[in-house]
Amino acid sequence: MNRTLSRLFEGYALMLGKAPAKPTEADFSQEARDLLAFKKTPEQRALRKATIKHEREHPETSTKWRNRRWASILVVNLLFVLSFWLDLQLIEGALTASRVFGFHMADLNSALQVTLAFKTVLINLVIGTSTVIIVYVLLGGRTFCSWVCPYHLLSELGEMLHLKLVEKGLVKDHPLHRGTRTFVFVAFAVLAFATGYTIFETISPVGILSRALTYGTVVGLVWVGALLLIEVFYSRRFWCRYICPIGLTYGMTGGVAPVRVFYDAQFCMHEGKCREVCLVPHVLDMTKLGYGKDVAHGIGPDCTRCGMCLDVCPTGALTFNVQGFTRPATNRRTEQQPS
Amino acid sequence: MSEKQDIPAAETAAPRKSLSRAELERRQLLRSIAIGSGVVCASMLGFFKTKFASAAPHLRPPGAIDEDRFLAACIKCGQCVQVCPVQAIKLSDIQDGLGVGVPYVDARAQACDFSCDAVQCVLACPTGALTHKLDKKEQTRMGVAELVEPSLCLARQGKGFKGKARGADYKGKLRYPEVDRWKPKPVADHPYDLDLCDLCVRQCPIPGAISLQAMADDATGKRKTPVVNQSCVGCGVCEMICPTEPAAIRIVPRVSGRHSS
């Protein structure tokens, strides 16, 4: 029980900006200690090295989860657009607030900004955010980011370009401190309260994009374009990684989500491909050899459930699972033994 | 090999003359402070338009509460835009600063003619930025009509009007109850033939808000002048339908004294 709680707090601390720390000897569970000792034997090292070499020569990268996710982003945003253009009336409004089949939904950060600026608790926003919170408490808060947010999709395309340019040595990534996002979140909350205006909405690429798609307010896309330029030429995924208070707000709801990415060290070769593609690699710190306190881990609240790590993981050490509905790891192990 | 891979790229990939870890961290911190503050400052530019640039205030949809409170309460979702039967409501873009994504009415292009009867935008608003206390069109307080170009007014010159009020290419719609009570119709499809132009009075959706009165200095009794009465809500139909260019009558938007939240 204490282990579960401390892992939960650790997850939130990481999300707020704490650097992941290497566990001390006392942190490991007995199983993890045994597994680590086993993995550090010369035979296992040699075997892993050979397997990784083979894997690098015959890389198998899937786009299964990426395709599903992109489809989800496109469908949700298209429903917003068509609900207005064709009068479908399925999802009316924008990502800041909407009615889905007539039910209120409100973006958590937008609702927070309005509540702080207006200094009134609005019943419709309470209803709207409660619905949204229930959804994301179950799915994991930042699922919004990678499965709904239209900026995420653009940012992903920008990232592809960025990585190409990095590979050619034309640009260099400039990582920021992850605590920046916490600072930005607090700054915008304080500003909304102090000024009485929803200051963050002025620059929120999510709201700007969502409204541009549905209502044709396209001048704001200049700002979105500027953010993308920074991401391509200066700092990889800087908005989603280090700045976006919307992402942090959703992340807050995701600590105990039953739907999660699940890591099982038994299958892991510690090759590190997952951390290379991850938007928030600190959540995958336990995939380094000697960093996993337990054999099996649910990934923390900052994880966007994008599935990119699943797509690159050659061994199936990373999977999606629903807590309480998953077959025991031993069963999977026998299935996934290399033939 | 595998263990080497475990060190994050950022730590191994140092520039040619490998900088110390402390120096890298110092640079990262400076970068973070610069970009983090930069983003916050960029958002503050929104104040410039709202507070300092002397732009004419926008006409807001029916039920809008006082401007400052309105900008705070509006969640910028555009649900009011979606329900308007004549598409009178538009959303501001980023050049409107803090008003980004906030609805407004460009009355000359398309006024709010209350075609929906029940003030649908008010019902659609999830936050009460359009006050939920409003249920009749007569209660709205968007602004007040004003005869800003009296010399252009056709009625004041004793002139009639024949033809399409805003020309053949005009896109705006109006509800003509005598034609179809439920379906607004393009103004361009509804030509007039009037001995004395009284379009602003004729099309006003609020009973008694505007009337034509004889001009005191006119012996013939033909020339008349529009007089705006207290019941005017500022919906903008008079501005929309006025056939002169520019419109002789225009709405002066209210920014305060609209509705309490």
My answer on whether A194 and A314 are in the same domain is: no
My answer on whether A209 and A77 are in the same domain is: yes
- Which secondary-structure segment (H or E) carries B91? strand B89-91
My answer on whether A115 and A181 are in the same domain is: yes
My answer on whether A125 and A185 are in the same domain is: yes
pLDDT tens for residues A131-172?
999 999 999 889 999 999 999 999 999 999 999 999 999 999
My answer on whether A23 and A77 are in the same domain is: no
Token pair 């942090």 in the structure block, residue: A248
What tokens appear for A316 in the block? 């199936």
**In this predicted structure, what is the pLDDT of residue A187?**
96
Using N-to-C axis directions, what is the helix angle for A205-215 and A150-167, rounded to 10°? 120
**Maximal C-alpha separation, chain B:** 104
**In this predicted structure, what is the pLDDT of residue A2?**
80
For the residues A240-252, what does the mean pLDDT come to?
Answer: 95
SS3 A107: coil
Query: CB–CB of B43 and A191 under 8 A?
Result: yes
My answer on whether A95 and A224 are in the same domain is: yes
- Which secondary-structure segment (H or E) carries B194? strand B192-194
Q: How far is B242 from chain A (nearest CA, A)?
A: 28
User: A222 - beta bridge partners?
Assistant: none
Top pLDDT among A254 and A17 is at A17
| Pick from A32-36, A252-256, B247-251: least confident | A252-256
My answer on whether A205 and A288 are in the same domain is: no
My answer on whether A35 and A109 are in the same domain is: no
Within 194-253 of B, beta carbons closer than 8 Å to A belong to none
For the residues A257-273, what does the mean pLDDT come to?
Answer: 93
My answer on whether A84 and A132 are in the same domain is: yes
- Whole-number Å distance between alpha carbons of B67 and B53: 16
Chain A residues touching B28 at Cβ < 8 A = 174-177
pLDDT bracket for residue A330 (50, 70, 90): very low
Q: Where among A207, A236, A252 does a domain terminate?
A: A252
Question: Is this complex scored with an ipTM above 0.95?
Answer: no
pLDDT bracket for residue A88 (50, 70, 90): confident
SS3 B125: coil
- Closest partner CB to B42 (pick from A203, A215, A219): A203
The C-alpha R_g of chain B, in whole angstroms, comes to: 27
What is the domain partition of chain B in residue ranges? 55-253
| Residue-number span of the structural domain to which A310 is assigned | 2-59+258-336
Tally of domains within chain A:
2
pLDDT bracket for residue B135 (50, 70, 90): confident
Query: CB–CB of A219 and B29 under 8 A?
Result: no
Q: How far is B30 from chain A (nearest CA, A)?
A: 9
- For residue A71, the tally of other CB atoms under 10 A from its CB is 11
My answer on whether A79 and A95 are in the same domain is: yes
**Beta strand A97-100 with A91-94: parallel, antiparallel or unpaired?**
antiparallel
For the residues B108-129, what does the mean pLDDT come to?
Answer: 91
My answer on whether A32 and A89 are in the same domain is: no
SS3 A91: strand
For the residues B245-254, what does the mean pLDDT come to?
Answer: 95
My answer on whether A224 and A95 are in the same domain is: yes
